[in-house]
Chains A and B, each alone.
Chain A
């Protein structure tokens, strides 16, 4: 089932993971300024474990929440939230959009990234609380679940809220700030002690109190944000903004699409509507409304365009040694590409009858997970092994929405 592919631009940039000069703490979630006592990996009641304590949080249409342990397939019930409209995750929390706002489910499972190695933690899972607001909500997450912040933009009320992750880790929903942006489309993405907030035409850095600063950069139609260990990336009509905050010093850099590939000049590439990658990895995949996908290397600050024979519904960069990119097409097939050449190397049979908004595709360093709400299962795919379906997992409650946690 191999399909011929062509690379449109910049083969050099593909899958280039910077090898030198990286150091721990260089990411945008750098927490140097945190006050004493902030949870920084180590949390009361948590146990360090030997490997990522992977699990799936599932939420059914009625709002029942459960957790499936992916290591031993034990299932536990966590309670009930409102009927879900959407779900986002940072690899620990599930942020469930409901009519009341955003309900935060803490899986109690997370990974702490030290660049040269990782530490893994497990604590009790719980429903942490509700961030009130008028949905739908757009969630932007950071690198660490125990420090820094999480951004929630409520399209219904035009409010941008920044949540304190350290408080969340303690089971408390605490807002660092809540500001009225006055726009229906927006985005608030955590950066250093504050956040980048979209006002439609530009991104403005707001400090920890929510005050707008003079640090701003043009970015029309901001859509999609992702935090890597290198930078925060936010998609704009003409490319992306890469943002870093080191010791309170915020830098915003515009990385335009390569010539001839932007959405405003009639080519077929299209702007990014969503970024996705294995957690923290520097190279991320960008979904567009056109065929193909983008790869953005946040370390080299370069875009690479990969064409495909049809439009994709989801696309996630693994950014591993082989440069795997895992995608879902409209026929419900999972397709695996290599970043280096853009070639498709494997694909599944159609796994879903229909790709609805509640379908999510997530990758970790070993497997990909795709929920099938109508069949009530989650497919675990060995993307590096010929796109083999390794397990078909039944969750309770049904996986109308899922979040892979422990990452």
Chain B
């Protein structure tokens, strides 16, 4: 399968997507503001018709660096609930979160409600890894927390929220089971992600993968490579003994070619979705789709 790179065209600083309901924010409907689009999708499933969910980060964006408008900042301050990822993910947004909390807005940082792992890479070792969503079990913990906080908003029908949460938990459990089964088909000694993606620590921990961090030679190296340029990556691939690596590269075909011709390593290159949902039809328009696409790419890549 040809990995798709979703062109992350950034077209504007303002990114409001109203997921539930279609009226302008305000009125009597409880207002929930969510920072990342992954959590926006999850919270929207739980809130259903009981609240209006505004997601600040639009599709194909970078959770670390997106910015919000003054209107969105003020919407946060008057929100009935703010849901953020936490653990340092929303760097550029933290000041607005702090301000909204100081203004009295109830806030839920998902990272505070899960068992946190630390990064293992050298440079960032010891700091908490915010990318918990790569493990659906941890997302279930987040659903529990979100359910209880939404149910506590005055005017919300707690039973309806409970039913939504039950239904979504069942979907997550089904996803989790699918992942267990898909990964079980991968020979155990091949359960290694040779990757320059930095978000798969939780998935690896949950499903028994090794993450082999690798520097992927860039375009200037691929333009005039030597065997020495490929030594680290080639030895990582050989040591992991995998038929596919999971890399973000602007020239994946050239990388495959160069690895074969310069290092004698035959390997496929596949890309995974990492930190943002996509537009509909691009492979990761919901959390469940994103996880299923990644699961399929990993299972196909390592089983072949």
Chain A residue, CB-CB nearest to B129: A116
Residue of B123, B217, B229 ringed by the most chain A CB atoms within 10 A: B123
Residue of B nearest to A69 (CB): B219
Which one of A22, A31, A51, A54 has the highest number of Cβ atoms from chain B below 10 Å of its Cβ? A51
A384/B250 in contact, CB under 8 A: no
User: Contact between B68 and A36 (Cβ–Cβ < 8 Å)?
Assistant: yes
- Contact across chains for B226 and A36 when beta carbons are under 8 A apart: no
Q: When chains A and B are docked, how far (Å) is the Cα of A214 from the Cα of B19?
A: 51
* In the complex, A10 has a CB within 8 A of chain B: no
A257 to B: closest C-beta gap in Å? 28
Q: Which residue of B lies closest to A120 (CB)?
A: B250
Question: In the complex, which residues of chain A have a beta carbon less than 8 angstroms from the beta carbon of B216?
Answer: 51
The segment out of B91-99, B109-117, B149-157 that lies at the interface is B91-99
Is B223 a contact partner of A50 (Cβ separation < 8 A)?
no
A115 to B125, CA, bound (A): 11
Contact yes or no, A384 B123, CB < 8 A: no
Q: What A residues does B219 contact at CB under 8 A?
A: 51, 54, 70-72
Instruction: State whether the Cβ of B124 lies closer than 8 Å to any Cβ in chain A.
Output: yes
- Measured between alpha carbons, how far is A276 from B132 in the docked complex, in Å? 38
The answer to whether residues A32 and B95 also contact, given A116-B121, A388-B226 and a CB cut-off of 8 A, is yes
- Minimum CB–CB distance from B194 to chain A (whole Å) comes to 16
Known: A42-B10, A70-B220. A366 touches B229 (CB 8 A): yes
Residues of A within 8 A of B103 (CB): none
- Bound CA span A112–B66, Å: 12
A40 touches B67 (CB 8 A): yes
Contact of A73 among B70, B221, B223 (CB under 8 A): B223
Judge if B9 is at the interface, Cβ distance under 8 Å: yes
What is the bound-complex CA distance between A388 and B70, given in angstroms?
52
A379 to chain B, nearest CB (A): 12
| A37/B121 contact (C-beta < 8 A), A47-B7, A49-B250, A380-B224 known | no
CB < 8 Å neighbour of B62 from A20, A21, A42, A73: A42
Distance, CA A382 to CA B11, complexed state (A): 37
Taking CB atoms and an 8 Å cut-off, the chain A residues in 336-390 that contact chain B are 364-367, 380, 382, 384-386, 388, 390
Q: How far is the CA of A42 from the CA of B69 in the complex (A)?
A: 13
Residue of B nearest to A385 (CB): B228
Which A residues are in CB contact (< 8 Å) with B146?
Answer: none
Using A40-B92, A54-B220, A366-B221 as known contacts, say yes or no to A21 and B126 having CB atoms under 8 A apart: yes
Is the C-beta of B180 less than 8 angstroms from some C-beta in chain A? no
* B208 close to A (CB within 8 Å): no
Contact status B126-A71, CB under 8 Å = no
A24 to B69, CA, bound (A): 23
The CA-CA distance from A367 to B62 in the complex, in Å, is: 28
Q: Is B189 an interface residue (CB 8 A)?
A: no
CB distance from B233 to the nearest CB of A (A): 12
CB neighbours (8 Å) of B5 from chain A are 50
Q: Is A19 an interface position by the 8 A CB rule?
A: yes
Asked if A24 contacts B88 (CB within 8 A), the reply is yes
A52 contacts partner chain B, Cβ-Cβ < 8 Å: yes
Decide if A44 is an interface residue (CB 8 Å cutoff): yes
Q: How does the 8 Å CB contact mask read for B48-87 relative to A, with 1 for contact and 0 for none?
A: 0000000000001110111111100100000000000000
Q: Is B122's beta carbon under 8 Å from chain A?
A: yes
CA distance A119 to B64 in the complex (A): 9
State whether the Cβ of A125 lies closer than 8 Å to any Cβ in chain B.
no
Q: In the complex the two chains form, what is the Cα distance from A366 to B248 in whole Å? A: 17
How far apart are the CA atoms of A94 and B148 in the complex, in Å? 53
Is there a chain A Cβ closer than 8 Å to B174's Cβ? no
Number of interface residues of A (CB under 8 A): 51
Q: Choose from A21, A42, A54, A367 the contact partner of B66 (Cβ within 8 Å).
A: A42
Taking a contact as CB atoms closer than 8 A, the residue among A22, A54, A366 that contacts B124 in the complex is: A22
* Closest Cβ neighbor of A112 among chain B residues: B65
Within 8 Å of chain A (Cβ to Cβ): is B260? Answer: no
Tell whether, in the assembled complex, residue A48 and residue B220 are in contact, meaning their CB atoms are under 8 Å apart.
no
CB-contact partner of A51 in B10, B125, B248, under 8 A: B248
- Minimum CB distance partner of B6 in chain A: A48
Residue of B nearest to A384 (CB): B228
Interchain CB contact under 8 A, B12 and A44: yes
**Is B168 interfacial (CB 8 A cutoff)?**
no
Q: Please give me the residue from chain B that is nearest to A369 by CB atom.
A: B220
CB distance from B82 to the nearest CB of A (A): 16
Cα-based distance from A364 to B64 in the complex (angstroms): 23
For A39, give the chain B residue with the smallest CB separation: B67
Is B184 positioned at the interface, with any CB of A under 8 Å from its CB? no
Question: Is B249 interfacial (CB-CB < 8 Å)?
Answer: yes
Contacts of B66 in A (CB 8 A): 42
B67 touches A36 (CB 8 A): yes
Min CB distance B140 to A, Å, is: 26
Shortest CB distance B102–A (Å):
15
Closest approach, in angstroms, between the C-beta of A322 and any C-beta of chain B? 11
A115: chain B residues within 8 A (beta carbon): 123-124
Query: Judging by beta carbons under 8 Å apart, are A366 and B217 in contact?
Result: yes
* From A37, A42, A46, A365, residue with most partner B Cβ within 10 Å: A42
- The interface bits of chain B over 1-29 (1 if a CB of A lies within 8 angstroms of the residue's CB, else 0) are 00001011111110000000000000000
Select from chain B the residue with minimum beta-carbon distance to A37.
Answer: B67
Provide a sorted-by-A list of 17 A–B residue pairs whose CB atoms are within 8 angstroms.
A23-B88, A31-B92, A38-B67, A42-B67, A47-B7, A48-B60, A51-B249, A51-B250, A54-B218, A54-B219, A70-B220, A116-B119, A116-B198, A119-B62, A382-B224, A385-B226, A385-B228
Q: List 15 additional A-B contacts (Cβ < 8 Å) besides A37-B67, A41-B92, A70-B223.
A: A22-B127, A39-B13, A42-B61, A48-B8, A50-B248, A50-B250, A54-B219, A72-B219, A115-B123, A116-B124, A366-B218, A366-B221, A386-B228, A388-B226, A390-B226
On A, residues with C-beta under 8 Å from B are 17, 19-25, 31-33, 36-52, 54, 70-73, 112, 114-117, 119, 364-367, 380, 382, 384-386, 388, 390-391
For the complex of A and B, the 6 pairs showing the least CB-CB separation, nearest first, are: A41-B65, A71-B219, A116-B124, A48-B8, A385-B228, A390-B224
